[in-house]
Amino acid sequence: MQTDLILQQPVTADGAELLLLFHGVGSSPEDLAPLGQALAAARPRAWVIGVRAPNRADFGSGWQWFSVQGLTESNRPERVARALPSFFERVEAWQGRTGVEPERTTLIGFSQGAIMSLESTQGAAPRVASRVAAIAGRLMWKIAESGRGAAWPEAGRSRRYGWAVSLRRRRSWG
């Protein structure tokens, strides 16, 4: 957590939320700082944290959750699956430090960070957040029935932001 970027720490723990921002490959938490600052201004009771991926990027500078060297559609799911335990550890570490439960945690990911955030909601994964916002990312696995219900992508139109896609569940997480 020493490598992560705390963009906002709320004055009080009452009603606190946790907004975790996950950058793309070859990037760093500082690259999402403008988004985090905008979220902080809109959510004064939120912890807003830019989380750094654990591995140095294969190409150029920055960091990555999984290697993109030799990446193919067939080996991508395995690489994502190998990276998920580290991702969960980072989320749970921030929840422990802030005292914010999964019900008040939002994962916000860009590119590779979006892939990791979305994948954290699938299969037998532990429930670490109640909301995910994915920017320029996608699910790796076929969305399947689980004990938490099936999720499906849903596109909607926003007057302010244009098209947006979100995941909806048939029933809430238990």
CATH of the domain at 67: 3.40.50.1820
80 within some domain: yes
Q: What is the pLDDT of residues 11-48, one digit of tens each?
A: 888 889 999 999 999 999 999 999 999 999 999 999 99
Q: Are 105 and 91 in contact (CB under 8 A)?
A: yes
117 within some domain: yes
Q: Distance between CA atoms of 36 and 123, rounded to whole angstroms?
A: 29
pTM of the model: 0.82
Q: Are 109 and 137 in contact (CB under 8 A)?
A: yes
59 within some domain: yes
Question: Any idea which of 2-6, 102-106, 138-142, 169-173 has the lowest mean pLDDT?
Answer: 169-173
* Residue 79 vs residues 6, 7, 74, 137: alpha-carbon distances, Å: 28, 29, 10, 15
122 within some domain: yes
161 within some domain: no
40 within some domain: yes
73 within some domain: yes
Report the pLDDT value the prediction gives residue 12, as an integer from 0 to 100.
84
Among the listed residues 84, 85, 69, 90, the one whose alpha carbon sits nearest the alpha carbon of residue 139: 84
64 within some domain: yes
Q: Distance between CA atoms of 95 and 155, rounded to whole angstroms?
A: 30
Among the listed residues 165, 160, 63, 70, the one whose alpha carbon sits nearest the alpha carbon of residue 118: 165
Q: How many structural domains are present in the chain?
A: 1
Amino acid 42 reads A
Q: What is the residue range of 133's domain? A: 5-138
